[in-house]
């Protein structure tokens, strides 16, 4: 049961890690861990939306994850395909607006089409915004923002001395959104692995040993409860 006295963070980021170890513990191939992880993604997204979070950014595949064995990458691509088809109907009931961040040009044409369709059918929804970070890398995103600014300096007369922090954040894939208040990482590591580097300057970080396929509603509530006990000073006193 959620504790309704808790303040729910406006923007939550989740690094969904630990699928491979979850499978290994059971003597199963890593891809089975990804299947269970994908199922959990749907369930927990709907719960988090009902809980009143306004923006949820989920890290599904990093720019570095292409380094994995070919079979694992192709199993992940198949899963993305399948779960995108499902989410076309799934998230409608919850009025969840789905947006993809990351470089989609690296995916096959069928997957790109599905990504576009998923965004298109959800574009007028008014509920939680779900950012799915796929082939996402925060450094790459910062490079793109810098390039954009350079072009504006060269072609549109932008004064380099007038560039602000907001000018950079507006050009990131999360442009216009509030920074994440809480970043949850499952699987026990204490690192960002190239996730929302610029945006997380003042995010609260919560790491749990729980592996992603085992991260359920009560684990989310625990993270929200811990978040409520943090003293966010933003450099002040
Ligand atoms: C997270 O689980 C899913 C992706 C990165 C795609 P992992 O596959 O990284 O699982 P572990 O960390 O090896 O257990
Ligand atoms: C981070 O997990 C990326 C995603 C969850 C999509 P990784 O498993 O790729 O991170 P590292 O390699 O442990 O840093
Ligand atoms: Mg991992």
Q: In this predicted model, what pLDDT tens digit does every residue of 72-81 receive, in sequence order?
A: 999 999 999 9
Mutate-to-test residue for ligand 2 from 192, 193, 210, highest number of ligand atoms within 8 A of CB:
193
Instruction: Report CA dihedral (6, 10, 13, 19) to the nearest 10 degrees.
Output: 50
User: How large is the average pLDDT for residues 152-164?
Assistant: 98
Q: In this predicted model, what pLDDT tens digit does every residue of 167-209 receive, in sequence order?
A: 999 999 999 999 999 999 999 999 999 999 999 999 999 999 9
Q: Is the CB of 16 under 6 A from ligand 1?
A: yes
Q: What CATH number is attached to the domain comprising 122?
A: 3.40.1180.10
Number of structural domains, the chain? 1
Q: Are residues 189 and 16 in contact, defined by beta-carbon separation less than 8 angstroms?
A: no
Q: Could you tell me if residue 87 is inside a domain?
A: yes
User: How large is the average pLDDT for residues 50-71?
Assistant: 98
Binned at pLDDT 50, 70 and 90, residue 87 comes out as: confident
- What phi and psi, each to the nearest 5 degrees, are found at residue 7? -80, 125
Q: Could you tell me if residue 172 is inside a domain?
A: no
Q: Could you tell me if residue 236 is inside a domain?
A: no
Q: Could you tell me if residue 144 is inside a domain?
A: no
pLDDT score for 90? 81
Where do the H-state alpha helices sit in the chain? 19-25, 30-50, 70-90, 109-122, 138-156, 165-170, 217-228
Q: Residue 129, SS3?
A: strand
- Whether the pLDDT of residue 105 is over 90: the answer is yes
Separation of CA 55 and ligand 1 centre (Å):
23
Average pLDDT across the chain, whole number: 96
Q: Is the CB of 23 under 6 A from ligand 1?
A: no
Q: Could you tell me if residue 211 is inside a domain?
A: yes
Give the whole-number percent of the chain exceeding pLDDT 70: 100
pLDDT score for 114? 93
Which residue is closest in CA terms to ligand 2's atom 1? 193
Q: What atom of ligand 1 comes closest to residue 18's alpha carbon?
A: 14
Cα of first residue to Cα of last residue in the chain, in angstroms, is 34
Q: Supply the range of the domain harboring residue 99.
A: 11-137+179-228
pTM tops 0.85: yes
Write the DSSP assignment of 79-121 as a string of letters: HHHHHHHHHHHHTTTTT-EEEEES-GGGS-HHHHHHHHHHHHH
Q: Could you tell me if residue 67 is inside a domain?
A: yes
Chain-centre distance for alpha carbon 32: 21
Residues designated as active site = 17, 65
List Cβ neighbours of 56 (8 Å cut-off, separation of 6 or more). 11, 12, 13, 14, 45, 48, 49, 128, 129, 130, 131
Q: Are residues 15 and 37 in contact, defined by beta-carbon separation less than 8 angstroms?
A: no
Q: Could you tell me if residue 60 is inside a domain?
A: yes
Q: In this predicted model, what pLDDT tens digit does every residue of 16-34 receive, in sequence order?
A: 999 999 999 999 999 999 9
Q: In this predicted model, what pLDDT tens digit does every residue of 112-143 receive, in sequence order?
A: 999 999 999 999 999 999 999 999 999 999 99
Q: Residue 17, SS3?
A: coil
Q: Could you tell me if residue 5 is inside a domain?
A: no
- Whether the pLDDT of residue 88 is over 80: the answer is no
pLDDT score for 202? 98
């Amino acid at each position: 049961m959620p504790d309704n006295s808790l303040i729910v963070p406006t923007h939550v980021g989740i690094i969904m890690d630990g699928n491979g170890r979850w499978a290994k513990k059971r003597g199963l191939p890593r891809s089975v861990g990804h299947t269970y992880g994908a199922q959990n993604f749907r369930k927990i997204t709907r719960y988090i939306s009902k809980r009143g979070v306004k923006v949820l950014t989920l890290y599904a595949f990093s720019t570095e994850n292409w380094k994995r064995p070919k079979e694992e990458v192709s199993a992940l691509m198949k899963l993305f395909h399948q779960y995108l088809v499902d989410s076309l109907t799934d998230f409608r009931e919850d009025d969840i607006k789905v947006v993809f961040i990351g470089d989609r040009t690296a995916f096959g044409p069928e997957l790109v089409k599905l990504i576009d369709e998923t965004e298109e059918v959800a574009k007028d929804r008014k509920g939680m915004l779900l950012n799915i970070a796929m082939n996402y890398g925060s450094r790459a995103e910062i490079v793109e923002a810098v390039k954009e600014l350079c072009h504006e300096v060269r072609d549109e007369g932008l004064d380099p001395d007038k560039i602000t922090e907001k000018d950079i954040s507006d050009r990131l894939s999360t442009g216009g959104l509030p920074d994440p208040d809480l970043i949850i990482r499952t699987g026990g590591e204490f690192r960002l692995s190239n996730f929302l580097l610029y945006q997380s300057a003042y995010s609260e970080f919560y790491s749990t040993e729980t592996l992603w396929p085992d991260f359920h509603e009560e684990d989310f509530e625990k993270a929200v409860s811990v978040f409520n006990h943090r003293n966010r000073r933003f450099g002040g006193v």
